[in-house]
Amino acid sequence: MTDTRDLFSQHNLRCTAQRLALYETLAERHDHPTAEELYRIAKSRTEKLSLATVYNTLDALCMVGLVRKLPTTNGSCRYDADTSIHPHIRYRDTDEIEDVPEKLGAKLLELVPDEMIEQIESELNIHVTGMNFQIIAQRH
Amino acid sequence: MTDTRDLFSQHNLRCTAQRLALYETLAERHDHPTAEELYRIAKSRTEKLSLATVYNTLDALCMVGLVRKLPTTNGSCRYDADTSIHPHIRYRDTDEIEDVPEKLGAKLLELVPDEMIEQIESELNIHVTGMNFQIIAQRH
DNA sequence: GTACGTGCAAAATGTTTGCATCATT
DNA sequence: AATGATGCAAACATTTTGCACGTAC
């Protein structure tokens, strides 16, 4: 798949083995690994890789908008290669984040917050304890 | 205001000068300070206070549901004494978080995500670059 | 009086930085 | 050839921990 190389070129990013491996690893997943997790997973794909490069790369990818950094409450951020607006489930105990299954996720975007909670609880086998929604903005 | 003492007692929390000062300081604010910020602000109210106590207290208050820990992307969490579901604005550059003004906030809870963004941009003088919404859940 | 909270200093965790080396363009 | 990326180690920031002492109940 030479697709990623095109994508990188369009954003003036050099196509290094490390960056390709990192982006492709991230894009495959529907959970949202931390930098450390991504490092371990991607390391099996590319011979040489350091944690510093993981941070550098994720930062570069965020800058051009190919990756989104997801906030957590435990100090270790998580990353998502799907930059569209879509709902996440964050587990209270571990701070793990995962996508709402695609079909349900699309449905939620048509609902108001209270209805979302109802839907989630009735469709998935989880107990919703809260909801955090942040509008990300730029002052001007 | 001896109200806070009642609130604490109801949750089996001891009423120490430090805890009272911290909770009351936090409850007054519509921005959402980090532990460090809260430490500096509350320190003027109570003679003795350490940063470790700020962390211990915030943790205790979160446990009983009197405070909510807000996720950020820069490694330093923020705290909110309003535990109801309500929208926040997070600024991209600084990771500062603030409440959407009350009236607009209530209105947003009646809208679907796309409409929320429209409303925010037309009512406030900011540029929305994204939206992050997390359903907080507990596995079972 | 006992159980719990506080404060200090030290440790742990996650992330960033400086710089010499290496690879992509 | 030049510009930018990598990797190492050290620095940094935030949060957690262990423990002696103090305070609320």
Report mean pLDDT in 10-residue bins for chain A, 140 residues.
87 96 96 97 90 98 97 96 96 95 96 96 93 91
Identify nearest nucleotide to residue B55 by CA to C1′ distance: D15
Place of tokens 């990192």: A22
List the CATH number of the domain containing A44: 1.10.10.10
What is the DSSP annotation of A69-135? Answer: EEPBSSS--EEES--S---EEEETTT--EEEPPHHHHHHHTTS-HHHHHHHHHHHSSEEEEEEEEEE
Last residue in a domain, options B38, B64, B80: B80
Q: Which of A80, A95, A117 is the last residue of a domain?
A: A80
- In sequence order, what are the beta bridge partners of B128? A137
What mean pLDDT is reported for chain B? 95
Residue that wins the pLDDT comparison between A45 and B4? B4
Same domain, A129 and A110: yes
In this structure, chain B runs to a length of 140
- B38 in the same domain as B105: no
Task: Report phi then psi at A106, rounded to 5.
Answer: -65, -40
Give me the domain span that covers residue B13: 1-80
Q: What residues of chain A have any CB closer than 8 angstroms to a CB in chain B?
A: 68-73, 75, 77, 83, 85, 87-93, 97, 100, 109-114, 116-117, 120, 125-140
Q: Please write the tens of the pLDDT for every residue from B51-80.
A: 999 999 999 999 999 999 999 999 999 999
Q: What is the pTM of this model?
A: 0.94
Mean pLDDT for chain A overall: 95
Query: Could you tell me how many CB contacts below 8 A there are between chain A and chain B?
Result: 150
Run of H or E including A21: helix A17-28
- Residue B118 with chain A: CB contacts under 8 Å: none
B121 and B90 in a single domain? The answer is: yes
First to last CA, chain B: 40
Judged by C1' against the alpha carbon of A50, the nearest nucleotide is D7
Instruction: For residue range B12-26, list pLDDT tens digits in order.
Output: 999 999 999 999 999
pLDDT given for residue A2 in this prediction:
59
Predicted confidence at residue B2, as pLDDT, reads 58
Q: How confident is the model over A91-128, as pLDDT tens digits?
A: 999 999 999 999 999 999 999 999 999 999 999 989 99
Q: Do B69 and B95 belong to one domain?
A: no
Q: How far is the CA of A22 from the C1' of C25 (A)?
A: 21
The count of domains in chain B is 2
Read off the pLDDT band of B140 (50, 70, 90): confident
Chain B residues in contact with A125 by the CB 8 A cut-off are: 140
Smallest Cβ–Cβ distance between B134 and the set A132, A136, A138 belongs to A132
Model confidence at B47, pLDDT cuts 50, 70, 90, reads: confident
Whether the pLDDT of residue B45 is over 70: the answer is: yes
Is residue B46 domain-shared with residue B21, that is, in the same domain? yes
Domain termination residue (choose one: A46, A61, A80):
A80
